[in-house]
């Protein structure tokens, strides 16, 4: 009994169907993120935008749930004591408090160059 060679059915390779499944999954995830953002804007309109009238200028933690906050409200600065149970106004400043300037992003590069002995800034 001789075995005759049989033609086998072509085997499907990885093809494009996997790529389309991944693309469809990615599209669904992106659509879900956009939908959640739209719902959040509708339900909480002020939560996602930064307020120009109220800013926390500085915060000093005093304990696990206690801190001092320096808050600017429409140009008036307040010192607030914040605990887990309450918020107390400790001081109302007649003139704005001058804080030391915060370093800008470029300062790190200059300090790193100075620390490594590079060219000094002029």
Q: What is the pLDDT of residues 55-88, one digit of tens each?
A: 888 888 888 888 998 888 887 888 999 888 999 9
The DSSP annotation for the chain comes to -PPPP-PPPPPP-STTHHHHHHHHHHHHHHHHHHHHHHHHHHH-TTTTS--SSEEEEEEEE-SSS-EEEEEEETTEEEEEEE-SS-EEEEEEESSPPPPPPPPPHHHHHHHHHHHTT-PPP-
Supply the pTM of this predicted model. 0.43
pLDDT value at 50 more than 80: no
Q: What is the pLDDT of residue 59?
A: 84
| Residues 10-32: tens digit of each pLDDT | 655 566 778 888 999 999 999 99
Percent of the chain topping pLDDT 70: 70
């Amino acid at each position: 009994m001789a075995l005759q060679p049989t033609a086998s059915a072509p085997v499907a390779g990885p093809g494009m169907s996997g790529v389309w499944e991944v693309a469809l999954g990615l599209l669904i995830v992106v659509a879900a993120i956009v939908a959640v953002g739209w719902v959040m804007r509708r339900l909480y309109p002020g939560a996602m935008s930064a307020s120009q009238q109220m800013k926390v200028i500085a915060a000093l933690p005093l304990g696990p749930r206690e801190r001092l906050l320096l808050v600017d409200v429409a140009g008036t600065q307040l010192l607030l004591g914040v605990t887990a149970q309450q918020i107390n106004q400790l001081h109302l400043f007649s003139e704005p408090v001058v804080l030391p300037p915060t370093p800008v992003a470029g300062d790190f590069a200059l300090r790193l160059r100075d620390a490594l002995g590079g060219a000094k800034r002029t």
